[in-house]
Amino acid sequence: MPTDADDALRSRLAAAFPVGVVSCDPVDRVLLGTDGSKIRGNAFAVVKPTDEDHVRTAILFAGANGLSVVPRGAGTSPTGSATARRRQIVLDFSRMNRILDVSPRDMVAVVEPGVMCGELQSRAEAVGMFYPPDPASARTSTLGGNVATCAGGLRAAKYGVTRDYVLGLRCVGADGRVFETGGRSLKSVVGYDLTRLLTGSEGTLAVFTRLTLRLLPKPPHAATLLAEFADDQGGFAAADAILAAGVLPRALEYMDRDVLGIVAGDPTPRSGSSLLIEVDGSPADCRDQAERVAAAVRSIGALSVRIADAGDDRDALWAARRSISSAVYRVFGAKRSEDLGVPRGRLAEAVAAIKAASRACGARCVVYGHAGDANLHFNFPYDPAVDGAKAAVDAAVDAAMAVALRFGGTVSGEHGIGLKKIDQVRRETDARALELMQHVKRAFDPAGILNPGKAIPE
């Protein structure tokens, strides 16, 4: 329960900043202390910095007063990375949202952490450049959050994930001191690679205040194909056939029968699975790749193949893909979603095993995601009003993680660990490696004030 001492401390916190930077409102503390994981938060207070000095002040105040800080971008984390508890200050970066530089000549962009991923993509493309990382939440997730979780996304098969585009970081450490890693150079091998270490650290080692990101020349053209298959396995066989044909699409997205039915509002879709494929390059390259993709998927029995190279047609196909997560919520009311990954060669086998394990637990599992890099989203929907439904789903999730690990995979391909998966880290991580990670955490944050309890067991 709040105490007079807490209220007095909140007043001192507010007094350390200009008016409007700190919110102690109970509604803000719950809303901004809760993220996409739906784990209910209740922050001590919310600081909305507009500059680096505000970040430093908040961190120093937390350290001096027995509090900790939780960095927050747009709060889209499905694992609880941005969930804040009673003795934690949320650092809400929504006001540090400036694109500071987009340089075609250097092939870099410099941004503050609150910039939306989709906004940078648009700004880069306006000057003939391309920021490849493309999480499905690109229009609603921030670059700071993407870097903090090393987000993957739809184009990872060809272009890689967020860490492949982070050249440098400006950060505030747990002691309030500012430091920088990397820079604008496309290559550097001086010292330890702290930039890569900080990428994916979920705000547990330092708080980002500026990001320097790599850009590429914008591909002149793209074409999207939608191929449908009779059963679950057809989509996976087609993905293998496309790669065997020597085509590396920039996106290779799988959807099973259940997902197709949910998106279309049809409980009995004719297709057992589909692949959404996108290629890029010159117009001639795209025509050649599209023809080779179409031939490859037809060779393994595609029911249909649709090619879209006009912008509006392509956008319509991708809008359906980006809507899947919200559509599952809308239909069922609740779900658990896991971003499991396995070696590519075992993808079809692993999905079949996970679905079988889910059925054995009395739960349903619907599957979609990135077939190109074998990182799929396993959704376990349920009706929260049905007795035992949540317990069945929890058992199915645990079984699914066990299957992924048994196949040599991972319990988190791109969503981070947060609170939801913290107990799974020991199942996957070598004991000595985990011990070294804990030493790293203590070196950066001896008092444990930076997003404690996330990313690794402490």
Give pLDDT, residue 313: 84
Instruction: Give the whole-angstrom CA distance, residue 438 versus residue 448.
Output: 11
Residue 191 gets which letter from DSSP?
Answer: S
Each domain of the chain, given as residue ranges in start order, spans: 4-95, 99-217, 220-322, 331-445
Name which of 450, 416, 382, 436 is nearest 141 in CA terms. 416
Class of CATH domain 220-322: alpha beta
More confident residue, 326 or 285: 285
Instruction: Give the whole-angstrom CA distance, residue 102 versus residue 124.
Output: 7
What is the CATH number that goes with domain 331-445? Answer: 3.30.70.2740
Q: Is the dihedral of CA 82, 86, 87, 93 positive or negative?
A: positive
Give pLDDT, residue 325: 86
| 323: confidence class by pLDDT, cuts 50, 70, 90 | confident
> How far does the chain reach from its first CA to its final CA, in angstroms?
26
Three-state SS letters, 294-334: HHHHHHCCCCEEEEECCHHHHHHHHHHHHCHHHHHHHHHCE
pLDDT above 90 for 250 = yes
Name which of 213, 219, 220 is nearest 103 in CA terms. 213
Mean pLDDT, residues 17-33 taken together: 97
pLDDT above 70 for 2 = no
Give pLDDT, residue 221: 95
Give pLDDT, residue 1: 55
Q: Does domain 4-95 have CATH number 3.30.43.10?
A: yes
β 99-103/108-111 pair status: antiparallel
Mean pLDDT of the chain: 95
State the pTM of this model.
Answer: 0.95
Q: Does domain 99-217 have CATH number 3.40.250.10?
A: no
Task: Dump pLDDT digits (tens) for 327-368.
Answer: 888 888 899 999 999 999 999 999 999 999 999 999 999 999
Fold agreement (4-95, 331-445):
no
Mean pLDDT, residues 425-434 taken together: 97
